[in-house]
Chain A
Amino acid sequence: ELKVEQNPLFLSMQEEKNYTIYCNYSTTSDRLYWYRQDPGKSLESLFVLLSNGAVKQEGRLMASLDTKARLSTLHITAAVHDLSATYFCAASGNTPLVFGKGTRLSVIA
């Protein structure tokens, strides 16, 4: 059974500092996804990572995948208030997506 663990679950970030969210999954997964969710809203797709060593960047966010370690990271560079949201990673193999518990990010001045 595929399980996905995220940490930390809560992250209070100071503006302009860097942070990393970690996502571990338990069994072989074909794909790793990162999503953002704002309060009261649905999910917005951020990244799809398909292979070992994949790295994708969009603005202040960068995601990477290490399939050997079964680990993906979401790195936040120079946090700004607009990044406050809940971030989910999700993995899938021959199964539908399995989500982590989410990381609630708050950026403080």
Chain B
Amino acid sequence: GAVVSQHPSWVICKSGTSVKIECRSLDFQATTMFWYRQFPKQSLMLMATSNEGSKATYEQGVEKDKFLINHASLTLSTLTVTSAHPEDSSFYICSANQGTGQPQHFGDGTRLSIL
């Protein structure tokens, strides 16, 4: 079945560091991918919609200069958290779907801890 791969699964780094997270669709092409953030015991909050070959669409309140999204190919989207601070610590999850009416498949998530 369709699989979305996310890497890395766990990152611990110092404040001020930039962190890149990759999201790959392994056996299908995804013109659109989604990036979510989930704080402990809360629901998923959509951060942005990643569009292949064009700029990402960010949700209200999400800083586009802090959370850089690149969707350079039909199977890869990246999220870079620039100059990360402790308040950016969270569980980041990407997703993609194969087409209309199909379920979104989620990556395994990346747990980001900023010290």
Binding site for B on A (CB under 8 A): 30-31, 33, 35, 40-45, 48, 50, 88, 96-102, 104
Contact = CB atoms under 8 A, between A and B. Distances in A.
Contact of A42 (B43, B46, B102, B109): B109
Contacts of A100: 43
A101 B6 CA distance: 23
A42 B104 contact: no
A48 B102 contact: yes
Interface of B: 6, 34, 41-46, 49, 93, 95, 101-109, 111
Contacts of A43: 44, 93, 95, 106
A42 B102 CA distance: 18
Contact of A33 (B6, B104, B109): B104
Given A96-B34, A97-B34, A45 B46 contact: no
B102 to A, nearest CB: 7
B104 A41 contact: no
B101 A50 contact: yes
Contacts of A33: 103-104
Give me the 3 closest cross-chain CB pairs, A-B, nearest first.
A45-B103, A42-B109, A43-B106
Contacts of B44: 43, 88, 99
Contact of A31 (B6, B34, B101, B108): B101
B109 A88 contact: no
Contacts of A35: 106
A104 B44 CA distance: 14
A70 B77 CA distance: 33
Contacts of B46: 96-98
B93 to A, nearest CB: 6
B34 A42 contact: no
B43 A48 contact: no
A97 B107 contact: no
